[in-house]
Amino acid sequence: MKTAGKLRKHPLAAAVALALALGTTGAHAQGIPEPEVDDPSIDESEEIEEVVVLGRFISSSQQLVNERMNDAFATDLLGADTISRLGDATVAAALRRVPGLTLVQDKFVYIRGLGERYTTTTLNGAQIPSPDLTRNVIPLDVFPTSVVESLKVQKAYDPQVPANFGGGNVDIRTKGIPDAFTTRLEFGLGFNSEVPSRVNTYEGGGDDDFGTDDGSRALSPQLVEALTTFQGNINIANIDSRLASTQPELGGTERGFQAQTISRQLAASLNRDISIQSESPDPDITARASIGNRFDLGSDWTAGFAIGGAYETDWRWRRTFSATAGNPDEENGVREEATRSINIAGTANFGLTFLEDHEIETTSLYLLDTDDETEVFDFFNENRLASSGRGFRQYRLEWEEREMTTNQIQGTHYLGAETKERFPFLNALGFIPEQTSFTWFYSDSTATTDIPNRVVVTSDTFFDENGGLLSESVSPGSSSADYRFTELEDDVEDYGWRVALPLEFGNSFVELSGGAGHAQKARVYRQTEFSLGFRDVPDAATLEGDLGDVFSDENFFATVPNPNPNVGVPDSLVYENDLVFARVGANTNSYLAATMTDAVFGQVDWTIADTWRIVAGGRWEDYRQVSVPWNPYGFSIGQPQVDADFEDPPGSGNIPPADLEEIESWYFQEDKLYPTVALTYMGSLWADTFQLRLGYSETAVRPDLREITDASYIDPITDDLTRGNPGVRPADVESIDLRAEWFFANSDTFSVSIFSKDITNPIEFFEIPASDTTIAREILNAESAEIQGVEVEFLKELGFLGGWGDLFFVQGNVTYQWNRDLVVGPNGGSVACESLGSDTEEAFNDCSLSGASESVVNVMIGFDSADSRHTASLIYNVFSERLFTFGRFGRPDAFEQPFASLDATYFWYPTDRMTVQFKAQNLLDESIEIERGGVVTFEEKPGINFSAMFQWGF
């Protein structure tokens, strides 16, 4: 949890913090006098606590140096001021500036080349749920940087964090109680260069501006009731059968007509106001406000609060090109997608401090992240080549609400001198060292994802020889339109405690610490899908025109006399158009899942003569996981049986029948001890302070809940058909980290880290056979994987260049991975072993994939004016070619091509209370490309973002 109470510093870290503070000269601090080192009036401990630096950004970067040095394990940190200067709006965007981190799909962070599954996320040290439909990992784009105090990236394992630790852990630490009264108002505007003057959209609901659907898109009460009445099967045959049993007096023709009428009425209850419209997009809008204060309640108590809120909305337009590697000229497509995003955030913090030794703080966080997408996708496949002049057009309308609510409470208590003085009876506890600390926390979080309606309509298209569109009509068939309704809810409860006993023996300082924790997570995922289409229409023009007109009441309910009436029913009618409406999808698309972890940890931290530091500890975890396929429209409780096929049997339950072996695969349990050890040397080699850290740890990486089911689903991020695997098991990770750090009194820093990870049974996605236009993947345990690399980080003032150099500094990092080998093993099947020059099945047991190197570079050049009224930054980020997905069955691997971005920020401080900010991102305007076998199979141009922000506050 967040650090509370007094700041307790390691002895060496305290000394270095003082040296850095004293090294902050005139250009760094606005007129703050520099204390003399030998001034007897200065108390060192007070100086560390009270030094205030108001000036340059470079000094704000130093505020987290103390924590980094005091941490026994390798960490990287970003503070709020740093994030503000970088100009990043989300946590995901900010983290790409950290050494060894790369951002994928604008929301998932890869640490040291490992996929998003190898990165865990906590909020103030507590586990939180994921609002992502198909992943346990947190999509970090849902967190606005406006709520963040700092980001801590832990790359070496600490037994205080969960053992589900592969590449690293990202701890998002929210803003807490201020030291004094503060208030802030912000307003900004922006735009993206790729957004055209008109974009595609559709008729939405009345509450769209607030990021919530007003019910216009949701399942109608009529359809919900029918799903219960007809036990999930609403096709015409089942409705007819039900009418035959409930209304036997109806004749066959009349009953059939009534069954069709009921089916069409149910179909008509869907949201069919789906005609594509053209709209002029608004500029990006950002509005934020916050207020907080801290005040005394007598001489012993202090209370405080901080409340904030934010509203952001923007339009983005994507035009992407995709193609198959084997026949890119004939099998390709162009996708145009307009997305309006609405983001709302609210925070509330309350704190209470007693005697400065005891603090209790609560944190409440609410996040709403909504995307409203309208997509038009023109494509050709193996059935309709581009040269044929015939193709497909697919419309997709999708509204997705992602919401997270977190409530946390935490406490920090020290057995300090003030506490003993106030409560003399505590002196009887002389065997307990002074400054013994006890910390505890409780966190309860709920994340939901609601897609009240995802509509996909497929049309047939005809083009002339120049590629001009000649005609378009909705494709005839039983599934011309697909309506999907999705709900996900994740609940996470996490609590724990820790005790630390500081001991001193001569020139040795020892801290003994230990604690326990409990975390449990429950997930409910429900998916309901319907198909709707016209199998036959007498007039082909019925399927032409706006989508809303094609699926209109007129086309649903138009009737004609029955050409073949039964005897005695001469005036019977039939529907003119053959409309089909049914619920579709596998019964295992929905599922229930839960995890529970009980943990105990302990650690010994021994510092010898402020020169050597040895830390050894371990964490024991008892981990349990269950994932059960769930049919919300099944009406009997399944019993074990040999035949696991399940087709909506009538009854009252909703767990599909399964055999004993399948039931066993739903559950997984593992208890294990995860050790860690770190050795640190502290001295003054080539700098005022030098640290050399060596760490070793053993951890695990566990599969996502969705991945241990036998279900197939469409990944909403990649649009790939993805299949789970009940047999997938956790991966074991052994990590070695060596980091050397130099901290100079003039604020310069330099560090070099070498890391190695050996992974047994790594969890990876591999392609499986599918059609030319469908990418399909399954989750598998490979045999092993290795990653080695080096990270270099630096901060350098340019004052050595002369007078003007005092106004500039350069900061950056470089990561280079020279070994990224994956040994597929027998689970991989026939794999294209490019790195071994083999694509034969005989070689797959020893096949090593993707041994290519990978690098990431971040560089920032900063400027701070002498009067501290102006600051500016130029930030460059580039990564080398990196693996996107593994190829199998003869297909080549897919590689994302190098992408370079150049961002610029400028801050003007006209008064002490006003700030004006200008920001431009991706000034190089490069495209994102993915290649397979030298062929570009994906291309997108994200465009340049421009924004301006006005801030007022004190």
The residue that leads in pLDDT, 82 or 455, is 455
Inter-CA distances, 668 with 183, 588, 654, Å: 50, 19, 22
pLDDT over threshold 60, residue 51: no
Mean pLDDT of the 459-487 span? 91
Tell me how far apart the alpha carbons of residues 675 and 76 are, in angstroms, rounded to a whole number: 22
Tell me how far apart the alpha carbons of residues 229 and 220 are, in angstroms, rounded to a whole number: 14
> Can you give the pLDDT at residue 827?
58
Pseudo-torsion of CA 387, 391, 397, 398, nearest 10°? -70
What confidence category does residue 42 fall into, taking pLDDT thresholds of 50, 70 and 90? Answer: very low
Q: What are phi and psi of 299, to 5 degrees?
A: -90, -15
Tell me how far apart the alpha carbons of residues 374 and 243 are, in angstroms, rounded to a whole number: 40
The residue that leads in pLDDT, 648 or 489, is 489
Mean pLDDT of the 270-275 span? 94
Q: Alpha helices of 621-697 — where are they, by DSSP H?
A: 660-665
> Can you give the pLDDT at residue 333?
92
Mean pLDDT, rounded, of the chain: 80
What confidence category does residue 445 fall into, taking pLDDT thresholds of 50, 70 and 90? Answer: very high
What confidence category does residue 881 fall into, taking pLDDT thresholds of 50, 70 and 90? Answer: confident
Q: What are phi and psi of 354, to 5 degrees?
A: -125, 120
The residue that leads in pLDDT, 455 or 34, is 455
Tell me how far apart the alpha carbons of residues 453 and 485 are, in angstroms, rounded to a whole number: 5
pLDDT tens for residues 551-571? Answer: 999 999 998 887 776 655 556
> Can you give the pLDDT at residue 588?
54
> Can you give the pLDDT at residue 48?
32
Q: What is the DSSP string of 781-814?
A: E-SEEEEEEEEEEEEEE-GGG-GGGGGEEEEEEE
> Can you give the pLDDT at residue 52?
30
Weakest-pLDDT range from 368-372, 400-404, 496-500, 720-724? 720-724
Tell me how far apart the alpha carbons of residues 182 and 293 are, in angstroms, rounded to a whole number: 6
* Strand spans (E) along 648-748: 667-683, 689-701, 712-714, 721-723, 731-743
As to burial, measured by CB atoms within 10 angstroms (0-12 exposed, 13-18 middle, 19+ buried), residue 873 is buried
What confidence category does residue 142 fall into, taking pLDDT thresholds of 50, 70 and 90? Answer: low
> Can you give the pLDDT at residue 18?
30
Which candidate, 702, 439, 445, 475, places its Cα nearest to that of 595?
702
Mean pLDDT of the 30-50 span? 34
What are 20's two structure tokens?
Answer: 């850095």
Q: Are 619 and 673 in contact (CB under 8 A)?
A: yes
Tell me how far apart the alpha carbons of residues 398 and 402 are, in angstroms, rounded to a whole number: 13
> Can you give the pLDDT at residue 665?
66
Length of the chain equals 954
Weakest-pLDDT range from 587-591, 643-647, 913-917, 934-938? 643-647
What are 470's two structure tokens?
Answer: 């000649």
pLDDT over threshold 70, residue 47: no
Rounded to two decimals, the pTM is 0.84
Kindly give, in sequence order, each residue whose CB lies less than 8 Å from that of residue 827, ignoring residues fewer than 6 positions away.
Answer: 780, 781, 782, 783
> Can you give the pLDDT at residue 249?
78
Q: What are phi and psi of 357, to 5 degrees?
A: -100, -15
pLDDT tens for residues 275-326? Answer: 999 999 999 999 999 999 999 998 899 999 999 899 999 999 999 999 988 8
The residue that leads in pLDDT, 145 or 22, is 145
pLDDT over threshold 50, residue 844: no
As to burial, measured by CB atoms within 10 angstroms (0-12 exposed, 13-18 middle, 19+ buried), residue 91 is buried
The residue that leads in pLDDT, 832 or 708, is 708
Mean pLDDT of the 578-595 span? 80
The residue that leads in pLDDT, 514 or 81, is 514
Helix (H) or strand (E) holding 623: strand 612-630
What are 306's two structure tokens?
Answer: 């901080």
For the chain, what percent of residues have pLDDT higher than 90? Answer: 40
What are 931's two structure tokens?
Answer: 């290649």
Residue 173: count other Cβ atoms within 10 Å of its Cβ: 22
What are 329's two structure tokens?
Answer: 């000229």
The residue that leads in pLDDT, 45 or 218, is 218
Q: What is the DSSP string of 334-353?
A: EEEEEEEEEEEEEEEEEEEE
As to burial, measured by CB atoms within 10 angstroms (0-12 exposed, 13-18 middle, 19+ buried), residue 81 is middle
> Can you give the pLDDT at residue 571?
61
Longest dimension (CA), the chain: 115
> Can you give the pLDDT at residue 770?
62
What confidence category does residue 113 fall into, taking pLDDT thresholds of 50, 70 and 90? Answer: low
Tell me how far apart the alpha carbons of residues 629 and 624 are, in angstroms, rounded to a whole number: 17
For the chain, what percent of residues have pLDDT higher than 70? Answer: 79
> Can you give the pLDDT at residue 304?
93
pLDDT over threshold 50, residue 843: no
pLDDT tens for residues 905-941? Answer: 898 999 988 999 999 989 999 999 999 888 999 999 9
Mean pLDDT of the 95-99 span? 70
What are 813's two structure tokens?
Answer: 């990092």
> Can you give the pLDDT at residue 570?
52
Tell me how far apart the alpha carbons of residues 732 and 761 are, in angstroms, rounded to a whole number: 7
Weakest-pLDDT range from 127-141, 180-194, 628-642, 752-766? 628-642
What confidence category does residue 834 fall into, taking pLDDT thresholds of 50, 70 and 90? Answer: very low
pLDDT over threshold 60, residue 851: no
Weakest-pLDDT range from 10-19, 174-183, 522-531, 789-798? 10-19
Inter-CA distances, 782 with 731, 835, 846, Å: 9, 16, 11
Which candidate, 905, 909, 884, places its Cα nearest to that of 894?
884
Q: Are 399 and 370 in contact (CB under 8 A)?
A: yes
> Can you give the pLDDT at residue 209?
92
- Classify residue 645 by its DSSP letter: -
> Can you give the pLDDT at residue 27?
31
Q: What are phi and psi of 177, to 5 degrees?
A: -75, 130
pLDDT tens for residues 365-411? Answer: 998 989 999 999 999 998 899 999 999 999 999 999 999 999 999 99
The residue that leads in pLDDT, 670 or 93, is 670
